[in-house]
Amino acid sequence: MQHLLDSIKYNKDRRFPREELEEIISRKEEAIPHLLEIMRELQAHPQLAEDPARLDFMYSAYLLSQFRVTALFPILVELFSLPEELLDMIFDDILTDAGGRMLASVYDGDLSLLKRLIENGEASEYARGQGLRALTILVYEGQILRETAISYVKELLTSKRVDSDYYFYAEIVCDAVDLYPEEVYADIEKLYEDEALDPYVILLDEVKATLQMSQAEAMQRKSTQESYQYINDIHAEMENWVCFQPESSGKIEMLREIGG
């Protein structure tokens, strides 16, 4: 297994290693300890991600998410809590593309740990937003009751409100809308009145439009979308990344083209 993982550690030939990944998947139980060790190495030495050709961290994160390995959850929370410069070096756009889905996929039941990330004012606002996204996905996947999640959102909008988090509060509103914002509409409206969030992220009219539908209809429409689901297929997630296309170059090659 170690030899197999070493063979795809670096992206040397711009080839998506489908066959190697399939073999790892077929040897899932054997692979899991090795994949976790790769992520623990990154946790201990995040600067290792400085080499843009090194992809074993990403393969490991996606595979462990696909395998639902809950031991990854606290590792991801710690990585997502890193200073923004380090976080961006490791995940770049992958954070907002799949970070919340990864967290939800490996959630170990420790809601307090997820809340700690969400409320961590020292963490990147984008990472905190992915913590909220994970909370929403866990509702859609049936792991957390909607009532539990919307009650927590209400806390964030009221007793735990911090007006300096201008972008983050727009993220909270987005997640409230995803959860159906009936119980927190008055609190959301007050945010707009107080100009305490970024209105370019989500308009109050979008909140109102959601409430024109029933809760069942609004949530059903979103439940079939990938962004509200676990990580299920590493091939679908990664094979279209620009780094596996012959003409791409530079750091952007680490990323999947949005919409590509």
The secondary structure of the chain, three-state, reads: CHHHHHHCCECCCCCCCHHHHHHHHHCHHHHHHHHHHHHHHHHHCHHHHHCCCECHHHHHHHHHHHHCCCCHHHHHHHHHCCCHHHHHHHHCCHHHHHHHHHHHHCCCCCHHHHHHHHCCCCCCHHHHHHHHHHHHHHHHCCCCCHHHHHHHHHHHHCCCCCCCCHHHHHHHHHHHHHHCCHHHHHHHHHHHHCCCCCCCCCCHHHHHHHHCCCHHHHHHHHHCCHHHCCCCCHHHHHCCEHHHCCCCCCHHHHCECCCC
Q: What is the pLDDT of residue 252?
A: 42
pLDDT single digits (tens) 80-96: 999 999 999 999 899 99
Per-residue confidence (pLDDT) for residue 81, from 0 to 100? 98
Q: What per-residue confidence (pLDDT) applies to 164?
A: 79
The pTM assigned to this predicted structure is 0.92
Report residue 57's pLDDT band, with 50, 70 and 90 as the boundaries. very high
Residue 247's pLDDT band, with cuts at 50, 70 and 90, is low
Give the domain ranges of the chain: 1-141+229-260, 149-225
